[in-house]
Amino acid sequence: MNDHEPKFFESDTKKQTPVPFMRKNLRSEDIDKAEQQLKSIANNLIYMDYPATTPCDKRVFEKMVPYFCDLYGNSHSWHPLGWESMQAFEAAHKQLADYLGVSQRDVVFTSGATESNVLALRGMIPSNKTKNWHLITTNIEHPSILECCRQLQPDIKVTILPVSNDGIINLDELSRTITDETYLVSVIAVNNETGIIQPLEQIGKICKARGFCFHTDATQALGRISIDLEKCNVSLASFSAHKVYGPKGIGAIYVRSGTLLRPLQVGGGQQRGIRGGTIPVPLCVGFGEACRILAEEGASEVERISELSARLVTGLLAAVPYSQLNSGTSRKVPHIVNMGFPYVEGESIMMGLKDICVSTGSACSSDRLTASHVLQAMHINEYFLQSSIRFGIGRFTTASEIDYVVSRVATEVQRLRDMSPLWEMFNNGIDMNKIKWGRKY
């Protein structure tokens, strides 16, 4: 074992035959020691990956705790513990619906935004098999949308619309693409890699005029921008609690009254029969509490994050020559900052920033070492395509952390550039845009 690697449970492994990793096989002092080591590691990190997930707010966690071990009844059981759980569920349900500005009846809890997205795309397929039904989406959607679209073909005709270099859908092209077989348009509200905001109200008007449903993945929009679901004519919208300081494993789908959504998961008729299964009351309570906090503190939080975002962008553009903001001048949310640092690789920058948590794109496709499909769709120059880093700013980010990140990134990029033949070629005056490379992204 490397001397620099944490040596967990060393005393046990020397004295005992290896056994499966179970808490009961470890002494309490070893467990405490390991937990302290992990806490120490976490406390020495600067977290800037808020678009991937957010830490659960302690107020949210504390609200959830009683429903795990004390008030643990099934919310559909007819006894006091069940009634207590149902009351907590209904309260959380109302908190979420109130925050969204919709009827409580129109909100269904799911396991997360991925399930909500798939439920929207699959559950809206009309039962009439006489038509070749048609779905429209864009090429900058979350992987859960694009993968679902891939699996729906060839039974469903799917049109994936390109976006402009600014990352925005072309509304005229959307109108031209619609056919009599179109049953759904699905467009992400806020892109999870660039933070660019789509014109939901205009898309909704087009869908309403043509008489079919509009779904939006609003995961990154929740708590960051105000969306009037009714005004935007949104039929279905997806949300996830862990993006807004709630627990993982719980999300929701808004289903507008009158929208005929076919359930994919059947059970005992819970949640109007749209999503069967025992209701995870602690998680629902957590989501509700997260929304309560957003309702009270969200506006001031967005303002503070906007200031930090501007500080980060201004600092990086000044400290790192030839860097760029990949969202350009498009309207965007402040908590997502996607920056390109040409002539080095984004993965190398990320690995060099060992004390800073950032990413090169969506966490849901991070196991694929390919260029971001979102940046490709925006026709970002190839020297920025593989050199981009997504920074995320959140509730617990501080100004001093922003300044430290700017300094560390500038130092790391320069270190990598000093070893980069591309940087050397650029400094020697070679026109990099005229070079033809064999590798295709």
Q: Nearest Cα to 145, choosing from 195, 185, 107, 90?
A: 185
On the question of pLDDT at 368 being above 60, the answer is no
Q: Is 284 a catalytic residue?
A: no
**Residue 50 confidence class, pLDDT cut points 50, 70, 90:** very high
| pLDDT at residue 439, rounded to an integer | 53
On the question of pLDDT at 400 being above 60, the answer is yes
| pLDDT at residue 273, rounded to an integer | 78
Q: Which of 148, 149, 207, 364 is catalytic?
A: 364
Average pLDDT over residues 112-136: 92
The region that residue 335 occupies, defined by phi over 0 for left and psi between -120 and 50 for alpha, beta otherwise, is: alpha
| pLDDT at residue 435, rounded to an integer | 76
Q: What is the CATH number of domain 59-293?
A: 3.40.640.10
Cα separation of the two ends of the chain = 37
| pLDDT at residue 208, rounded to an integer | 95
Structurally, what CATH architecture does the domain formed by 298-428 represent? Alpha-Beta Complex (3.90)
How far is Cα 34 from Cα 41, in angstroms, rounded to an integer?
Answer: 11
Beta strand 157-161 with 134-138 is: parallel
On the question of pLDDT at 11 being above 70, the answer is no
| Length of the chain as a residue count | 441
On the question of pLDDT at 7 being above 70, the answer is no
| pLDDT at residue 199, rounded to an integer | 97
| pLDDT at residue 80, rounded to an integer | 95
Crossing angle of helices 113-123/143-152, nearest 10°?
30
| pLDDT at residue 48, rounded to an integer | 97
Could you report the per-residue pLDDT of 183-230, keeping only the tens digit for each?
999 999 999 999 999 999 999 999 999 999 999 999 999 999 999 999
How far is Cα 86 from Cα 77, in angstroms, rounded to an integer?
Answer: 9
On the question of a cis peptide bond just before residue 247, with omega within 30 degrees of 0, the verdict is: no
Could you report the per-residue pLDDT of 222-258, keeping only the tens digit for each?
999 999 999 999 999 999 999 999 999 999 999 999 9
**Residue 1 confidence class, pLDDT cut points 50, 70, 90:** very low
| Burial (0-12, 13-18, 19+ Cβ within 10 Å), 70 | exposed
Average pLDDT over residues 281-294: 98
| pLDDT at residue 15, rounded to an integer | 42
Average pLDDT over residues 18-47: 67
Q: What's the predicted TM-score (pTM) here?
A: 0.88
On the question of pLDDT at 276 being above 80, the answer is yes
In the chain, where are the structural domains located? Answer: 59-293, 298-428
Let me know: does 208 contact 178? Beta carbons within 8 Å.
no
| pLDDT at residue 364, rounded to an integer | 53
| pLDDT at residue 20, rounded to an integer | 47
| pLDDT at residue 196, rounded to an integer | 97
- Record the tokens describing residue 305, joined without a space: 């994050």
Could you report the per-residue pLDDT of 313-364, keeping only the tens digit for each?
999 999 999 999 999 877 999 999 999 999 999 999 999 999 999 998 655 5
